[in-house]
Chain A
């Protein structure tokens, strides 16, 4: 499976934007880039996913580099409830399981 590299941890202040980076230099042409987050003692929550073009939804934006070797999850205004572990995962084909790495632990301060 293609692997991703994320920083272990990041810190942010409330109301500020947060840019969570992810490197995936071995991505293949059919891999979708998925982002999930996990709050303490809960199952992961879907955030966003994309293939080539940037994507926006009510939770976040996903910026994908032109060569697709990296991507950035953007939280436009962090809140305390955004404190979680964020996982960037490549999904090779429909129906396959998501394989989780260590993710980035995001801390948000008031």
Chain B
């Protein structure tokens, strides 16, 4: 089945550090990729939607200058958390989909647990 690889799985770093998270679709070309954030005991919250070669669309309340998204190819999207602070500590999850017709599933990475000290 379709596989999405997310790296790294865990990051622990100091406040003020910028952190980059990669999301790759391994066996299909992802027309659209999504980034979610999940706080403890809560559901996933959509942060942004990105299409290859165009600017990401951010959800209300998500700072685009803080959460930089690059979708350089049909198999790779990156999320950079710039100047991270403790309140940015969360579980970040990427997702990808291929819409070749019909209503295809979204495929998710295993998530990145970000801890800012």
Report A-chain residues with C-beta under 8 Å of the C-beta of B94: 43
B54 within 8 A of partner (CB): no
Report B-chain residues with C-beta under 8 Å of the C-beta of A41: 91, 111, 113
Query: Contact residue range for chain A?
Result: 20 to 34
Beta-carbon contact of A102 and B43 below 8 Å: yes
Report B-chain residues with C-beta under 8 Å of the C-beta of A46: 105-108
Q: Residue A49 contacts which of B44, B46, B105, B113 (CB distance < 8 angstroms)?
A: B105
B76, chain A: closest CB distance, angstroms: 17
How distant is the Cα of A95 from the Cα of B49 in the complex, in angstroms?
A: 10
* Chain A 37-55 interface residues, beta-carbon cutoff 8 Å to B: 38, 41-46, 49, 51
Beta-carbon contact of A100 and B105 below 8 Å: no
Query: Contact residue range for chain B?
Result: 20 to 34
Most chain A CB within 10 A, of B4, B49, B103, B105, is at: B103
A34 within 8 A of partner (CB): yes
Q: Residue A43 contacts which of B102, B103, B109 (CB distance < 8 angstroms)?
A: B109
Beta-carbon contact of B103 and A32 below 8 Å: yes
A17 within 8 A of partner (CB): no
Q: Residue A94 contacts which of B34, B104, B111 (CB distance < 8 angstroms)?
A: B104
When C-beta atoms are compared, the residue in chain A nearest to B100 turns out to be A94
Q: Residue A91 contacts which of B93, B103, B111 (CB distance < 8 angstroms)?
A: B103
A65 within 8 A of partner (CB): no
Top 6 nearest A-B pairs by Cβ distance? A43-B108, A46-B105, A32-B103, A100-B44, A94-B99, A100-B43
5 cross-chain CB contacts under 8 A: A36-B108, A43-B93, A43-B94, A49-B105, A91-B103
Q: Which residues of B contact A (CB under 8 A)?
A: 4, 6, 31-32, 34, 36, 43-46, 49, 91, 93-95, 97, 99, 102-111, 113
A32-B103, A94-B103, A98-B106 given; 7 more Cβ-contact pairs under 8 Å: A43-B110, A44-B93, A46-B108, A94-B102, A95-B31, A97-B46, A100-B43
